[in-house]
């Protein structure tokens, strides 16, 4: 953090301001500035107003019970998430409205209306029941971006099963770890998915994971269809493996939505932390749905005629909250795309925006930086005039990328919502409201109404630059870490009393706007994906040639951050480019391709204190090519010079 403060001071001098366009503000869902004050004076009342827009089978009797660090929201209330995302709209006569407008990477398309999606979800929910899945059972979902991913999630919520979606880019080992930690009973996967013209063979990965996933009793396999299924052989184990389409066609069409307690588990989502083992973030039903519903409507200013597209993958929390649950709870028309932004060419996203008439577009800064580099001519070839609101999430957005997004994609007319939140927060926490907030490039601006944050020093003292903290409970907060409440307490609640530690640094400017500075712990953010340095280190030392490894983040023009690994080999093992490639692949195999280090530096020693602690701060300085800070506490100061030389050669 400290080393970035020069750049940050420049950022804070940012004085371009973008008030909401008048016509936008006039019809915005939220355009009364008193909402902030109203929500702050009665947050429970504020959130209850949102909750009461949903269907409840039984009303809650208490809005909030806060016994730090555990919160319960809407106590006594009963509801069902899939009912609220589907039946509620069909019952209101909106069954013919498109829910999912799906496009595969090769250009094949499928559309589901709300009535069709409900029918598919009911049938698959019955299919899951026929495999013995019931309330509280865990189901792993390891799928590409196909409609069945949303169907599977909604089918689980319909019967009260707890889903754990694992990103399709994760390796068999990562999948097995998650199956085992959750003690999942069923795994839902596909023969494969398309990515940049190649097949990602998910069932093959799943089969490898299943060799080490003893709790999985049944596997459901979605046939992706088309050329992919024709060319991707799948081995089905009789009795264990079932084709999705066969289960669905054999199932009864009606499946009543289970009445769930507001605090019943909705899903587990694994995310990287500061140890080698990802943690299962636990979300529950009523509070989560309330906050994703409210934020989708207010932050994305959803109106009936909107076509909404969030480019995330359902494997990440953004896909859960802002492709599936938030938009469907709002009866939105949701575009879903299977593949890469640059396939078959770099104009694909803009062609999709034109084709579907997208009005609201939500993506990550890493994608925006890539588009920017690819040049204005790609978006220039498509008609983007229907776009009226843009959003970003996942990492800090540099003002240059913000301005490009505003100018080239937004045609200088679309407000931009830079939304800060986390897997743990479940829903958007800091964001402009597009009909109310004057934006400035690079800042997520203010907390959403009803949310209270502070910037704190280690001591707990409030300051204008320090750690981002959330000071009061919010409806969609994580309830615990699956199977490890102690880790929940120590990770988020041990820095200050009854205050949530987000793991990010932040600054407040003279307008009171919040600038998020990135992680302050050993968590990297590579292209918007969270990866723990310890996870990569454990994958490296798992290789037979490696004795020790230290991993740090390094600024990257497109990805925001990339991974640099400093590796000490076992005695007698010679360094070579081949070994370097092998180590990168090994990490890819252990975790997934997103975790492969960008550079690997072999070193006989790592900089350590006399007590043996690796000084990552110095490694970060070396990786960034900066002047190395204080080395007086090093056991062997010469090691830094040697490392710098090696790193320079590598970069050379």
Give the integer Cα–Cα distance in Å for 182 and 168.
17
- In the complex with ligand PRX, which residue's Cβ is closer, 301 or 313? 313
- To the nearest whole angstrom, how small is the minimum distance from the Cβ of residue 516 to ligand PRX? 4
- To the nearest whole angstrom, how small is the minimum distance from the Cβ of residue 444 to ligand PRX? 5
Phi, psi of 16 (to 5 degrees): -75, 135
> What separation in angstroms does the CA of 95 have from each of 141, 252, 324?
26, 20, 17
- Give the pairing of strands 70-75 and 360-363: unpaired
**489 CB burial (10 A radius; 0-12, 13-18, 19+):** middle
- In the complex with ligand PRX, which residue's Cβ is closer, 123 or 478? 478
- To the nearest whole angstrom, how small is the minimum distance from the Cβ of residue 401 to ligand PRX? 12
Q: Which spans of this chain sit near ligand PRX (rule: CB under 6 A)? A: 271, 317-318, 393-396, 418-423, 444, 502-504, 516, 518-519, 525, 530
| Cis? peptide before 69, omega within 30° of 0 | yes
Phi, psi of 156 (to 5 degrees): -60, -50
- To the nearest whole angstrom, how small is the minimum distance from the Cβ of residue 452 to ligand PRX? 17
Nearest Cα neighbor of 542 from 491, 594, 595 is 595
Using CB positions, name the residue nearest to ligand PRX: 423
Phi, psi of 424 (to 5 degrees): -70, -35
- In the complex with ligand PRX, which residue's Cβ is closer, 81 or 506? 506
- To the nearest whole angstrom, how small is the minimum distance from the Cβ of residue 519 to ligand PRX? 5
- To the nearest whole angstrom, how small is the minimum distance from the Cβ of residue 274 to ligand PRX? 12
- In the complex with ligand PRX, which residue's Cβ is closer, 182 or 569? 182
- In the complex with ligand PRX, which residue's Cβ is closer, 113 or 423? 423
- To the nearest whole angstrom, how small is the minimum distance from the Cβ of residue 492 to ligand PRX? 12
- In the complex with ligand PRX, which residue's Cβ is closer, 51 or 292? 292
- To the nearest whole angstrom, how small is the minimum distance from the Cβ of residue 400 to ligand PRX? 15
Give the integer Cα–Cα distance in Å for 338 and 317.
17
- In the complex with ligand PRX, which residue's Cβ is closer, 331 or 389? 389
- To the nearest whole angstrom, how small is the minimum distance from the Cβ of residue 470 to ligand PRX? 11
- In the complex with ligand PRX, which residue's Cβ is closer, 290 or 398? 398
Phi, psi of 313 (to 5 degrees): -105, 145
- In the complex with ligand PRX, which residue's Cβ is closer, 163 or 530? 530
- To the nearest whole angstrom, how small is the minimum distance from the Cβ of residue 469 to ligand PRX? 12
Which two three-digit tokens encode residue 464? 């204008």
Give the integer Cα–Cα distance in Å for 390 and 453.
24
DSSP H or E stretch at residue 456: strand 453-456
Residues in the chain: 652
Which two three-digit tokens encode residue 479? 């309830």
- In the complex with ligand PRX, which residue's Cβ is closer, 189 or 363? 363
Which two three-digit tokens encode residue 241? 């493996």
Which two three-digit tokens encode residue 633? 């506490």
Give the integer Cα–Cα distance in Å for 337 and 103.
5
Any idea which residue has 């609101």 for tokens?
Answer: 389
- To the nearest whole angstrom, how small is the minimum distance from the Cβ of residue 622 to ligand PRX? 23
- In the complex with ligand PRX, which residue's Cβ is closer, 74 or 316? 316
Q: Cα 96 from chain centroid?
A: 30
CB 410 within 8 A of CB 379: no
Any idea which residue has 């598919």 for tokens?
Answer: 120
What are the DSSP E strand ranges found in 23-79?
Answer: 62-67, 70-75, 78-79
User: Positive or negative, the Cα torsion across 211, 214, 217, 218?
Assistant: negative
Give the integer Cα–Cα distance in Å for 409 and 361.
10
Nearest Cα neighbor of 597 from 606, 586, 605 is 586
- In the complex with ligand PRX, which residue's Cβ is closer, 426 or 473? 426
Which two three-digit tokens encode residue 291? 């906050």
- To the nearest whole angstrom, how small is the minimum distance from the Cβ of residue 396 to ligand PRX? 4
Q: What is the DSSP letter of 318?
A: H
């Amino acid at each position: 953090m400290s080393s970035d403060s020069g750049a940050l001071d420049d950022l804070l001098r940012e004085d371009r301001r973008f008030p909401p366009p008048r016509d936008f503000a006039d019809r915005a869902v939220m355009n009364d500035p008193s909402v902030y004050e109203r929500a702050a004076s009665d947050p429970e009342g504020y959130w209850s107003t949102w909750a009461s827009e949903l269907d409840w089978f039984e009303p809650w009797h208490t809005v909030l019970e806060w016994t730090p660090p555990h919160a319960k929201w809407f106590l006594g209330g009963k509801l069902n998430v899939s009912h609220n995302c589907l039946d509620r709209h069909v019952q209101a006569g909106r069954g013919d409205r498109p829910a999912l407008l799906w496009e595969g990477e090769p250009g094949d398309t499928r559309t589901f209306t709300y009535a069709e999606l409900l029918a598919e979800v009911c049938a698959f929910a019955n299919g899951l029941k026929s495999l013995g899945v019931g309330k509280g059972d865990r189901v792993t979902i390891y799928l590409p971006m196909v409609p069945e991913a949303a169907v599977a999630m909604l089918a689980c919520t319909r019967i009260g099963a707890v889903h754990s979606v694992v990103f399709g880019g994760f390796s068999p080992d990562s999948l097995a770890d998650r199956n085992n930690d959750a003690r999942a009973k069923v795994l839902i996967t596909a023969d494969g998915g398309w990515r940049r013209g190649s097949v990602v063979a998910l069932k093959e990965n799943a089969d490898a994971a299943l060799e080490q996933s003893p709790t999985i009793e049944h596997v459901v396999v979605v046939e992706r269809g088309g050329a992919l299924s024709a060319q991707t052989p799948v081995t089905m184990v009789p009795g264990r493996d079932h084709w999705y389409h066969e289960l669905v066609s054999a199932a009864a069409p009606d499946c009543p939505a289970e009445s769930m307690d507001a605090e019943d588990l909705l899903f587990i989502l694994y995310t990287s932390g500061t140890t080698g083992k990802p943690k299962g973030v636990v979300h529950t039903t009523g509070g989560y749905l309330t906050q994703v519903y409210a934020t989708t409507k207010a932050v994305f200013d959803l109106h009936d005629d909107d076509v909404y597209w969030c480019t995330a993958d359902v494997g990440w929390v953004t896909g859960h909250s802002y492709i599936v649950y938030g938009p469907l709870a709002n009866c939105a028309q949701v575009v879903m795309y299977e593949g890469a932004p640059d396939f078959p060419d770099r104009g694909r996203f803009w062609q999709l925006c034109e084709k579907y008439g997208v009005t609201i577009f939500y993506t990550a800064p890493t994608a925006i930086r890539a588009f920017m580099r690819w040049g204005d001519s790609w978006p220039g070839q498509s008609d983007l005039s229907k776009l009226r609101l843009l959003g970003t999430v996942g990492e800090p957005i540099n003002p240059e990328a913000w301005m490009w997004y505003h100018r080239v994609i937004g045609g200088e007319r679309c407000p931009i919502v830079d939304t800060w939140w986390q897997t743990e927060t479940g829903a958007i926490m800091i964001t402009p409201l597009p009909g109310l907030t004057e934006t400035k490039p690079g800042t997520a601006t203010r907390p959403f109404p009803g949310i209270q944050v502070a910037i704190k020093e280690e001591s707990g003292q409030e300051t204008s630059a320090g750690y981002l903290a959330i000071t009061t409970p919010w409806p969609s907060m994580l309830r615990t870490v699956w199977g490890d409440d102690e880790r929940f307490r120590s990770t988020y609640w041990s820095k200050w009393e009854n205050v949530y530690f987000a793991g990010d640094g932040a600054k407040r400017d003279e307008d009171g706007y919040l600038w998020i500075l990135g992680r302050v712990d050993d968590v990297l953010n590579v292209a918007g994906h969270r990866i723990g340095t310890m996870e990569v280190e454990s994958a490296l030392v798992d290789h037979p040639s490696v004795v020790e490894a230290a991993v740090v983040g390094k600024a990257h023009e497109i990805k925001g951050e990339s991974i640099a690994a400093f590796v000490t080999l076992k005695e007698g093992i010679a360094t070579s480019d081949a070994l370097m490639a092998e180590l990168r692949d090994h990490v890819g195999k252990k975790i997934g391709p997103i975790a492969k280090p960008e550079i690997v530096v072999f070193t006989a020693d790592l900089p350590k204190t006399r007590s043996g602690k690796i000084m990552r701060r110095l490694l970060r300085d070396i990786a960034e090519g900066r002047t190395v800070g204080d080395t007086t506490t090093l056991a062997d100061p010469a090691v830094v010079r040697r490392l710098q030389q090696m790193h320079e050669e590598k970069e050379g």
